[in-house]
Structure 1
């Protein structure tokens, strides 16, 4: 093995369940705690040698320069430090970049960390109490939101958040796989119950109870519908206070420090690719060419298969698509962490917690896959870790060309006009009291263009068709009226 082979040597996590806002820990504190835990896990005091710091996006609190504040808190002075953009895949990309810098000899000890305190921040806002944290930096750039990147047509129809958009992929993919709504919901429940079980066995989890598959998919007073077919227990839970950190170094530095080989986890490499940022500019909603290309490239790094998986789990459609991309059966064990619903979904930082969980598993042996994605099934990054070394890490990881080659023609996007249109996908959005807000349908015109229309809450017949048990309405022909509303013929 080359002396500059990148290895993970330290992992750390933090969690905070305060009784009062006055005692709540801010993201900076949670992050510092996780970093110190990672340094203790490495066991040789590497923190003072950190020469590169990457901080995952923080949404729950805004800092003027959180990387500088963390350096001051930890008394470290890395040559480079950076705070990064929002993205569920970003921790995987940051770990990959840290490994490549080490392999090129540009860095010796790299630190990747992040934290969120959305649970306490939201509670403080509800109670009208300012937490005793670092002053909120109102002049700092605000994090990117879904409404900032979706098409104006989607925004007008209420499709601007993940909970409103991912159900479109759920319906389209399940229909393409030939499933009935009942079969698709059963698969989601079974898969999500496995995430819940992994979370219940993880002492660092946010939700300690593991609900059953039936409880997860069945609407109830405590499990309201969010957007058809997703209930509260089927979507990511960002209202958590959690932090995580990972230390990456070279084999040479690790051995010189006295870290045993069996404590090191090798970063074998990975792949990344993206879809068009506007989800309405995709060739379809039944899959993701970028996801397919990324997971194919990652699988090539592990010809013997994976002993452990972490399939990103903001909504059920993502790991359901991913396990098919990987050629895995319905008995897949999708997580070593517990998922964004049950372990907790600290916004962009979940996959850093997943990296910590994967390292703990792989120290016992084997090869693991970390797969994260961001925005609206848009950005995909996979990383392969192993207890055993492999071939030297490749200098690049983009498989964008392979993703683009898999993509079909993208339909023209047009404003809805009265006339016939075929349903491509759909969802129903619900209010907090469980009543229907409206239905939203993605349609194809007779000319093949794509458009959007609504289904009003009083059109119970069409809403029942969208949420029916018999079959998905994908491919159903209907009519757009002069108010931009769609109903079947």
Structure 2
């Protein structure tokens, strides 16, 4: 047997904390959650990792922004890492941080690395409702928290489709038509998938909501499960109202041996890939697939040398369409178990930090299943940023790839021509995709469609809430409206209107 290179990166410790304290004044602030997760991860490893810690990645957090989160955490941990970095926002960010930490270890640039993050939105929201002051470390009220409205074009902001819950339905409704499903069939697939995610969360001691839901529970629209944006209900939406922290320690095989960490606790980083779609989703060639997602997942399949070799998976789950797209690219069946954690709707959605928890869940699962491999796949923004990482209980057959893990050029090469966007138009246009947005009272606020003119141009238009005939066409469960012709006119507010022909 070939000896293992001493610089081979391994995950050796993982820690999580879920703090369900209802009283805001007793809630733990994010940096305290991080510190507890780090201590738990060190204990999990069974070695004094903090003493040699030289690299820290703090996942970007929103619930309580600090002026210097990495520095504040270092002081709490009483350590002085040479590299102490605050990450950028994005659901894929922890996957990238873990991947790059592994590469630095493999190059000999780091001995002990830490990826950590936390959110405390549950306490922050509870305090805001009560008008209570939280006795936490100083908050940076000048922090610039990046949101979709900051970088997406004014047109989508005016239409009210600049948040994840209003954008992902465009992909949901386009993919089902492309796959030849009726909306009802796609809806049933989503509900069954989410029921399986909830079952995993119910078994996870760290999950925020440990309750198994049936597909019917997820499908039925009730006051407690209102429609938010067609076709999604509240139980299909990521839940950020949580207090959670997670941490992952990585080191080299050589240093793990020197610290006396048992090999049975090592999880090897095999490799990974990353790519992105254009940030402005109106500049994408279509909405029934993501070339970046496809290339990333195809690349990790090639790295492992087989079709669907992963016995364990964490496919990002902000909304059902994401794992539905991913499992088709991976060649998985509709009943595949696609989470080790429970999903953002049920486990909880500590914003950019969910995948740190997912990594911890996969590490525990792998340790209990020698010889297995796992896939950690994260996504950020609006089907925009994609990063996948392969892990295993044995060293990678070919070692950790040293080349650039980005497959951006290949993804860009697959992209078709982008339809030119028109702001002023009158005439017929065929529906490309759509959603219908509901208010908190459950009533329709308005619909939004993306459509194509006979000349191949793209436009965005609104459907009025009193246009019941068009709304009925859009929400027909037995026939997809994608491809349906409609009449486009100008509205008094300067936005286009679309009415089904």
TM-score range, shorter chain: over 0.9
Deviations 1:52-92 (A, max 9, x none): 01000000011010100000000011001011111000000
Mapped to 1, the partners of 2:26 and 2:338 lie a distance apart of: 35
Deviations 1:325-374 (A, max 9, x none): 11111111110000000000100000000000000000122100000000
Match of 1:29 in 2: 32
1:219-238 aligned within 5 A: 219-238=221-240
The unaligned stretches of length 5 or more in structure 2 are none
Contact 1:302 1:367 (8 Å CA) reproduced: no
Q: Secondary structure at the match of 2:490?
A: coil
TM-score after normalising by structure 1: 0.99
The unaligned stretches of length 5 or more in structure 1 are none
Contact 1:416 1:453 (8 Å CA) reproduced: no
Q: Secondary structure at the match of 2:304?
A: coil
Mapped to 2, the partners of 1:10 and 1:217 lie a distance apart of: 38
1:472 is the counterpart of 2:480: yes
Task: Figure out how many residues of one structure are paired with residues of the other and give that number.
Answer: 488
Q: Secondary structure at the match of 2:105?
A: helix
1:26-425 aligned within 5 A: 26-139=29-142, 141-304=143-306, 305-364=309-368, 365=370, 366-390=372-396, 391-395=398-402, 396-425=404-433
Mapped to 1, the partners of 2:257 and 2:303 lie a distance apart of: 25
Q: Which moved more, 1:79-88 or 1:479-488?
A: 479-488
Match of 2:444 in 1: 436
Q: Which moved more, 1:212-221 or 1:426-435?
A: 212-221
Contact 1:311 1:335 (8 Å CA) reproduced: yes
1:5-24 aligned within 5 A: 5-24=8-27
**What RMSD over aligned residues (CA atoms) do the two structures have, in Å?**
0.8
TM-score after normalising by structure 2: 0.96
Give the Å deviation of 1:301: 2.2
Q: Secondary structure at the match of 1:423?
A: strand
Contact 1:193 1:213 (8 Å CA) reproduced: yes
Mapped to 1, the partners of 2:293 and 2:151 lie a distance apart of: 20
Q: Which moved more, 1:379-388 or 1:253-262?
A: 253-262
Match of 2:499 in 1: 487
Mapped to 2, the partners of 1:470 and 1:19 lie a distance apart of: 43
Mapped to 1, the partners of 2:47 and 2:123 lie a distance apart of: 34
Structure 1 stretches (4+) deviating beyond 2 angstroms?
A: 301-304
Equivalent of 1:460 in 463, 468, 488: 468
Contact 2:22 2:123 (8 Å CA) reproduced: no
Mapped to 2, the partners of 1:356 and 1:87 lie a distance apart of: 18
